[in-house]
Structure 1
Amino acid sequence: MKELSLNKTKVLCIGDSLTEAYGINSENGWVNLLQQELHLPIVNAGISGDTTFGMLARTEKLLLAHKPSHLIILGGTNDLWFGLVAESIISNIHAISRQAKYYDAECIIGIPTQTFGIKEINFANQNYSKQILSFQKKLIAYCKSYEKINIDFSRGMQPEHFLEDKLHPNELGQKMMFRNALQVLKDIF
């Protein structure tokens, strides 16, 4: 770990069910595993079903309450379910990152996990899985364009890493998400 003053390092993770650890014991979620590994205060502000609009609405209050040094943003899949376009979602993520900067928190963007075999149609009559894949690519491009640190939570994920719904990571998937986060964060802390 870098020679940062670790006593000042605090991480806030804002997101949806992928952050909250939907469908499994939260002790086995990537946020909790990260806290155990890094021995840092890490706040899980994931809410299942939340959208980036909801995350944006609660960001300032969370930043003021927790005063994090770092903010990890992981969201967008619920927005896609409701048929919102990637540009609107990325606009919300950008606004969240601007708030983080204003409150002296370094922002890290999470690239959400993909799905395996979901054939569902979203509210805009689009293939949900294809929308997630397209969003991942656009979000990665955004991160490159704005030089944002990002964690690709989908890296290494396989069908066996998901619950029966093929959308939410199971305990194995959460461990994979933890490893993906750790690989990026070990170069920061």
Structure 2
Amino acid sequence: MKRTAYRRDFILSVAAGTLVGLCPLPTLAQGKAAQVILVLGDSMSAEYGLARGTGWVALLEKRLAQQKIPATVVNASVSGDTTAGGRSRLGALLAQHKPAVVVIELGGNDALRGLPLQSTEDNLAWMTQAAQDAGARVLLVGMQVPPNYGASYTQRFAAAFETVARQRKAALVPFLLKGIADGPDPTAMFQSDRIHPRAEAHPRMLDNVWPELKKLLR
């Protein structure tokens, strides 16, 4: 009886080892655990007005899977959020998810609300530094405002992202809506509010983000 039990246990042990070889556990053992990408954004990243799964962040998850890149995405975007709101939420998110990469897509609502540009820049800098101090690589995703805000404001707003990226040595996408908001018909790819892109625009938004983001994925 003991020999039979031993043989049965041995067979089960071998079978279990074979099954483990088919699952992701060896990958974890080899130090290739999926890295976490934290997206901290506003309605541009929160699928505002869209069917779930059609926004650029959801498309990013699919691209990572297609290219067999071991990474998972945490979308912590909130419609209407400002840089101050992101700043207040970031610490808890860093502690909870321990991301390898943090994508900061905030600032557009600061401009819509007429908030001081210096506050926007300071908040972006603080979030970038906090993420870096937590061991994450940072990608700033810039936004631009329409010319009716005035040439000076438009230039200074865009420069805020560039300044923070340069000073903090972070990666930068200058304009999330490049090829969408600056096309021959700027309204064609937007919802009726003329602020939020339609689903058809989100693959282009991902293409704008992807080249810089991919460089940060190790």
> Are 1:21 and 2:47 matched, yes or no?
yes
1:50–1:129: structure 2 CA closer, same or farther, 3 Å change rule? farther
- Give 1:6 shift: 5.1
Q: Between Structure 1 and Structure 2, how many residues are aligned? A: 176
- Give 1:114 shift: 4.7
1:26–1:11: structure 2 CA closer, same or farther, 3 Å change rule? same
> Are 1:89 and 2:120 matched, yes or no?
yes
Match of 2:190 among 158, 162, 165: 162
What does 1:5-44 correspond to in 2, within 5 Å? 7-39=33-65, 40-44=71-75
What does 1:23-172 correspond to in 2, within 5 Å? 23-39=49-65, 40-112=71-143, 114=145, 127=149, 131=153, 134-152=156-174, 153-157=176-180, 158=183, 159=186, 160-172=188-200
**Maintained 8 Å contact 1:109/1:150:** yes
**Maintained 8 Å contact 1:69/1:104:** yes
Question: Greater CA radius of gyration, 1 or 2?
Answer: 2
Q: How many angstroms apart in 2 are the aligned matches of 1:111 and 1:101?
A: 18
- Give 1:145 shift: 3.9
Q: TM-score, normalised by structure 2?
A: 0.72
Task: Look up the SS of the partner of 1:187 in the other structure.
Answer: helix
Query: What is residue 179 of structure 1 aligned with on the other side?
Result: 207
Task: Look up the SS of the partner of 1:18 in the other structure.
Answer: coil
Task: Look up the SS of the partner of 1:73 in the other structure.
Answer: strand
**Maintained 8 Å contact 1:70/1:105:** yes
Task: Look up the SS of the partner of 1:141 in the other structure.
Answer: helix
1:134–1:57: structure 2 CA closer, same or farther, 3 Å change rule? same
The one-letter code matched in structure 1 to 2:200 is L
| Unaligned residue ranges in structure 1 (runs of 5+) | 120-126
- Give 1:8 shift: 4.1
Kindly, what percent of the aligned residue pairs are identical? 27
Q: How many angstroms apart in 1 are the aligned matches of 2:154 and 2:46?
A: 19
Q: Please say which of residues 11-20 and 155-164 is displaced more in the overlay.
A: 155-164
Across the aligned residues of Structure 1 and Structure 2, the Cα RMSD in angstroms comes to: 2.2
Which digits, 9 at most, give the CA deviation of each residue in 1:69-116, with x for residues without a partner? Answer: 00000111111122112221111011111111121111110112555x
**Maintained 8 Å contact 2:42/2:105:** yes
| Unaligned residue ranges in structure 2 (runs of 5+) | 1-30, 66-70
Task: Look up the SS of the partner of 1:7 in the other structure.
Answer: coil
The one-letter code matched in structure 2 to 1:16 is D
Task: Look up the SS of the partner of 1:13 in the other structure.
Answer: strand
